[in-house]
Amino acid sequence: MSPEPFGARLRRAMDTRGPLCVGIDPHSSLLTAWGLSDDVAGLERFTRTVVEALADRVAVLKPQSAFFERFGSRGIAVLERAVADARAAGALVVMDAKRGDIGSTMEAYAATYLDPASPLFSDAVTVSPYLGFGSLRPALDAARASGGGVFVLALTSNPEGAEVQRSTAPDGRSLAQVMLDHIAAENAGAAPLGSVGAVVGATLDRAGVELAVNGPLLAPGIGAQGATAKDLPRVFGDAVRNVVPSVSRGVLRHGPSVSALRDAARQEAAQLAEAVK
């Protein structure tokens, strides 16, 4: 029997738990704010607390791989444990790794995050398509085989992204639109939601592209980067129901109290559900 596709699992999770993705971003200043040391012990305490507080109640947890990689193999071990524990508690895990390469290297990245035999196996992974959308084929194929998902960078929340993403292809489309059109083609016929998503920043004044890709739209930028739940209908228009709003510091700054983290996540989820309904 084929595994249930990521898009279907994500739709169900957002409908039952609310449309909230919480980033797990243990950067040094946040560890300090929690009264933790900026080392593996602090990293482990932080990560376990977030997973304990939220994995049984939010739709998606999104660990940022770089904050674990900076501690070497011991940091990766913390990440492996977090992914396994979060998924066991019912949260979908999107690995924020933004990998992008070609050929056998892309195959290796796909095996790392989308092969069930891997210790870092996640429900989905973020990838960069700017070596050409076709370079992502190993990840797309691996996701389809494992029931996983892929979030493709399209229009990111950082201002610098526009110089690439808003540039024009030979046929007159923006590069972002080219990527979104590829995503729509991958998701054709999928129900209730495709498993190939796009990353589109919530901080944009307007998307200015066609977002009807029949897939999820991961929307970073809410909270510390300036976007709010009320911005989502303006940015995403008719596609707003498929938005997966990502909040990191807006929730994490309430730690290390488990109850405070849960309260913050519940409030965020309620505001976001009202905005996207």
Q: Which residues are annotated as catalytic?
A: 98
Strand pairing of 92-99 and 243-247?
unpaired
Residue 32 in tokens: 């300090």
85-110: b (≥16 Cβ within 10 Å) or e: bbbeeebbbbbbbbbbbeeeebbebb
> How far apart, in Å, are the Cα atoms of 91 and each of 7, 46, 187, 209?
14, 17, 23, 30
Beta bridge partners of 127: 99, 152
> How far apart, in Å, are the Cα atoms of 49 and each of 55, 86, 185, 240, 246?
10, 11, 40, 31, 19
